[in-house]
Amino acid sequence: MPTTLNLELATVAYKVVRDIMAVKKGESVLITVDSAGCWTVAEELAKIAESLGARVMVAYHSTPVGVGKVAEPYLPDSLKAAIPQTDVWLELNTQWLGYSAPYEEALVPPNRVRYLCLCGLDVERMVRFFGRLDLKAQDEFQNKVVEVTRRARQMRIVTPAGTDVSFENDPKRPVLSELWCHTPGAHFPLGQIAWAPIEESINGDIVFDGSFYAGGPADLPSLREPITFHVKKGVCVEINGGEEAKLARQWLDSLNDPGMYHEAHLCYGFNPGAKPSGICVEDERIWGVTEWGFGHQGIQFKADGVSAVSHLDGICLNSSVWQDGEQVLNEGQVVHPELVELARKLGK
Ligand SMILES: [Fe+2]
């Protein structure tokens, strides 16, 4: 009998729809999946939502070339109309629709959709991400990371690949812990802490050595050579590296939008189940990575708000992080005294 993990998937879908999304009877649930995404996961999420009394629709469509606003011309009008009109939106697309016009519309009143990005997650990844995890222990750890990060003003990140970047945090901006999706707005899978440092304070080299996702031809999983962004006052002024760096530069230039070179957010990856897999949503959650976003800045960061035609994410493996001189991570391992014991409970 082939391994399908179908029982595990049922458990995970139940956990996501009932516990994480808190779907209630009578709510509208929209599940979107492009043709490169995983239909099996879409079907399972739909079944669980239906069984909880929700009114469910699965939207299956061809795969856009590019993400964000770049994906918009590929979308059926019926899909664009449906996205802001649902209570809950689960997105399984590989070429994600985040930061597109229907996405932005879905997040502002009066629509106020509860959105969860599950972009590119297939059955095995869903099981790794959600299945065997103690949500309470994960929540406790993430909340402590938020608390510790909120105290930080001056930060520095160094990686073995050559990242050395310093910046300052704005205490008035939120530090987002991604786990529960009970409130309207944009949510991402558990195991990520995200915020937007003060853009003009960011200076140094950011060396992406995990993977790099800018959509279309510049989705570059498992980089053969690192891509280096030289950053001055929050803006990437030069990109260096090998063939993949060249491809990234060509794609970004082709978008013809200077906003694509502006730093948009920073994240910690802390999902104990995530491993390098060539999917952005998983790679950016590998334990101990830092991830930088450039281009369009989500409204959830309550920052200065660079608007751009798309967005890219790049991953720095085995990060060492200091905040106000105190070390938080050492080459991907948690060393901050307030976090060590909570990480141990997660097997880390
Ligand atoms: Fe991002």
- 291-315 pLDDT, tens digit each: 999 999 988 899 987 889 999 999 9
- pTM of the complete model: 0.89
Residue 227: exposed, middle, or buried by beta-carbon count in 10 A (0-12, 13-18, 19+)?
Answer: buried
Task: Return the minimum-mean-pLDDT range out of 50-54, 180-184, 280-284.
Answer: 280-284
What spacing in Å lies between the alpha carbon of 13 and ligand 1's midpoint?
A: 24
Q: β-pairing, 185-187 with 114-117?
A: parallel
31 and 90 Cβ atoms separated by less than 8 Å: yes
Q: How many C-beta atoms lie closer than 10 Å to residue 80's C-beta?
A: 16
Residue 130: exposed, middle, or buried by beta-carbon count in 10 A (0-12, 13-18, 19+)?
Answer: buried
Q: What is the pLDDT of residues 27-40, one digit of tens each?
A: 999 999 999 999 99
What spacing in Å lies between the alpha carbon of 294 and ligand 1's midpoint?
A: 7
Q: β-pairing, 333-334 with 326-330?
A: antiparallel
The answer, yes or no, to whether residue 348 has pLDDT greater than 70, is: yes
What spacing in Å lies between the alpha carbon of 311 and ligand 1's midpoint?
A: 7
The answer, yes or no, to whether residue 68 has pLDDT greater than 90, is: no
Query: Residue written as tokens 């794609």?
Result: 251
300: tokens are 């959830």
**CA atoms of 150 and 136, how far apart (whole Å):** 21
pLDDT of residue 346: 95
pLDDT of residue 141: 98
Task: Return the minimum-mean-pLDDT range out of 4-18, 96-110, 163-177, 184-198.
Answer: 96-110
Q: What is the pLDDT of residues 322-342, one digit of tens each?
A: 999 999 999 999 999 999 999
Q: Please enumerate in sequence order all residues whose Cβ is within 8 A of that of 337, keeping only pairs 6 or more positions apart, or say none.
A: none
Q: How many C-beta atoms lie closer than 10 Å to residue 91's C-beta?
A: 24
**CA atoms of 280 and 192, how far apart (whole Å):** 12
Query: Residue written as tokens 């530090």?
Result: 175
What spacing in Å lies between the alpha carbon of 214 and ligand 1's midpoint?
A: 10
**CA atoms of 236 and 246, how far apart (whole Å):** 14
pLDDT band at 248 (very low <50, low <70, confident <90, very high): very high
What spacing in Å lies between the alpha carbon of 24 and ligand 1's midpoint?
A: 29
Span 122-139, average pLDDT: 92
The answer, yes or no, to whether residue 232 has pLDDT greater than 70, is: yes
Mind listing the domains of the chain with CATH numbers?
6-130 (3.40.1830.10), 134-345 (no CATH)
What spacing in Å lies between the alpha carbon of 293 and ligand 1's midpoint?
A: 4
pLDDT of residue 190: 95
133 and 18 Cβ atoms separated by less than 8 Å: no
What spacing in Å lies between the alpha carbon of 292 and ligand 1's midpoint?
A: 7
Cis before 110? omega within 30:
yes
Tell which residue, 189, 156, 171, 179, has the closest CA to residue 290: 156
What spacing in Å lies between the alpha carbon of 2 and ligand 1's midpoint?
A: 36
Q: Please enumerate in sequence order all residues whose Cβ is within 8 A of that of 62, keeping only pairs 6 or more positions apart, or say none.
A: 34, 35, 74
What spacing in Å lies between the alpha carbon of 96 and ligand 1's midpoint?
A: 11
What spacing in Å lies between the alpha carbon of 312 and ligand 1's midpoint?
A: 6
The answer, yes or no, to whether residue 2 has pLDDT greater than 70, is: no
The answer, yes or no, to whether residue 280 has pLDDT greater than 80, is: yes
What spacing in Å lies between the alpha carbon of 297 and ligand 1's midpoint?
A: 8
What spacing in Å lies between the alpha carbon of 194 and ligand 1's midpoint?
A: 9
Mean of the per-residue pLDDT values of the chain: 95
CA dist 303 to 111, 165, 264, 297, Å?
Answer: 22, 20, 9, 8
Span 76-85, average pLDDT: 96
Taking CA 335 as the corner, what is the angle to CA 318 and CA 322, rounded to the nearest 5 degrees? 70
